[in-house]
């Protein structure tokens, strides 16, 4: 499907908004790090349903939503994407609470290259030599940490692959981004409600037993969750996976700076080597992509 210049420009704006909000989201999860990651995910689901339902009512999109709910194939696809994104949420929230924002940022640095690789495997997009080299350099960085340091950066890999597959699915699913996210959270909501009810029965529901500040923060999970995902879904439909991959550098860069400068997570030389390999691969990938796009734009038309 050919993407017009106007659609691409809109997609870039949506993507910039999404990745900036995602880059700052560790600040929010640090504020609720006393709450179990499972409960936070449950609140993200429930409050996202409420927020999006109000939005749908305000914008008169109910008929679109009802039409989508009648499509069994669409519901099946969104069930898969809902499971993937909920797993991504859980890993990320746990990582922030465990002071592993650096490793989480590493995952989102890897993610653009994973997206390109998935585009080749599932969408038939061809990789050029420089793109292959960028992926190999990034893989070397991960292999270094595994072989020499004896530890697999599983948080980074889990986040990279889960979000890469989520982006791939949302690109292929033909659905309004607002409806899509609402349906995803609706699918997850029965599980979330059952879990919260179980916590209440056990006397462990933080939402009730915490102070008003934590209660308000958990209730804000709907806005924190919905806005960047809405922007991402709207942007992904208007951009190639390659362009989307380029813009994704914004979120991990903000998270990286937060981890080092604000939360003072250790960045030793061994870990820096892994980051350096990822960054080198991304620089090569970005430079080649920009050079190729410029070459295509200035290519003369033969008449």
pLDDT digits (tens, 9 = 90+) for 256-270: 999 999 999 998 887
pLDDT in tens, 74-118: 999 999 999 999 999 999 999 999 999 999 999 988 888 888 888
Return the pLDDT at 55.
86
Distance CA 32, CA 197 (A): 20
240 pLDDT higher than 80: no
CB contact set of 138 (below 8 Å; sequence gap of 6+): 110, 113, 277, 278, 281, 282
Across 147-175, average pLDDT: 87
117, 165 contact by CB (below 8 A): no
Q: Has residue 301 got a pLDDT over 50?
A: no
Kindly tell me the burial class for residue 233, based on how many C-beta atoms sit within 10 Å of its own C-beta (0-12, 13-18, 19 or more): buried
The residue among 234, 236, 215 whose CA lies nearest residue 226 is 234
Residue with the larger pLDDT of the pair 150 and 77: 77
Taking each helix axis from N to C terminus, what angle separates 5-31 and 250-257, rounded to the nearest 10 degrees? Answer: 20
Residues 6+ apart with CB under 8 A from 247: 12, 15, 16, 19, 235, 239
Structure tokens at 128: 């050029």
CA-CA distances (angstroms) from residue 87 to 26, 162, 163, 215?
17, 7, 9, 23
What are the phi and psi torsion angles at 266 (to 5°)?
-65, 135
The vertex-25 CA angle with 24 and 26, nearest 5°, equals 95
pLDDT for position 302 = 44
pLDDT at 175: 87
Of the candidates 251, 243, 281, 278, the one whose C-alpha atom is nearest the C-alpha of residue 92 is: 251
Which pTM was predicted? 0.86
Residue 80 CA to residue 84 CA, distance in Å, equals 6
pLDDT tens for residues 110-142? Answer: 888 888 888 888 888 888 888 889 889 988 988
Amino acid 299: pLDDT: 55
Q: What is the mean pLDDT of the chain?
A: 87
């Amino acid at each position: 499907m050919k993407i017009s210049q106007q659609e691409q420009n809109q997609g870039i704006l949506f993507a910039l908004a999404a990745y900036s909000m995602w880059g700052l989201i560790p600040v929010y999860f640090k504020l609720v790090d006393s709450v179990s990651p499972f409960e936070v995910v449950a609140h993200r689901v429930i409050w996202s349903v409420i927020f999006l339902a109000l939005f749908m009512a305000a914008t008169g999109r109910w008929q679109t939503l009802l039409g989508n709910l009648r499509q069994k194939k669409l519901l099946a696809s969104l069930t898969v994407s809902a499971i993937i994104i909920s797993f991504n949420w859980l890993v990320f929230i746990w990582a922030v609470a465990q002071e592993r924002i650096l490793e989480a940022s590493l995952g989102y640095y890897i993610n653009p290259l994973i997206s390109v690789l998935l585009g080749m495997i599932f969408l038939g997009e061809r990789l050029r030599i420089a793109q292959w080299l960028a992926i190999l350099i990034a893989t070397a960085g991960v292999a270094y940490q595994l072989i020499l340091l004896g530890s697999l950066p599983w948080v980074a890999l889990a986040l990279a692959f889960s979000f890469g597959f989520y982006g791939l699915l949302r690109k292929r699913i033909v659905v309004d981004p607002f409806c899509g996210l609402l349906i995803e959270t609706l699918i997850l909501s029965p599980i979330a409600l059952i879990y919260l009810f179980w916590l209440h029965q056990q006397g462990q529901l933080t939402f009730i037993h915490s102070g008003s500040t934590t209660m308000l923060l958990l209730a804000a999970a709907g806005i924190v969750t919905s806005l960047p995902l809405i922007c991402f879904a709207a942007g992904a439909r208007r951009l190639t996976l390659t362009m989307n991959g380029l813009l994704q550098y914004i979120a991990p860069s903000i998270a990286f700076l937060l981890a080092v400068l604000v939360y003072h997570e250790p960045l030793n030389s061994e870990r820096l080597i892994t980051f350096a390999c990822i960054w080198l691969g991304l620089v090569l990938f970005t430079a080649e992509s920009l050079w190729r796009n410029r070459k295509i734009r200035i290519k003369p038309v033969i008449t």
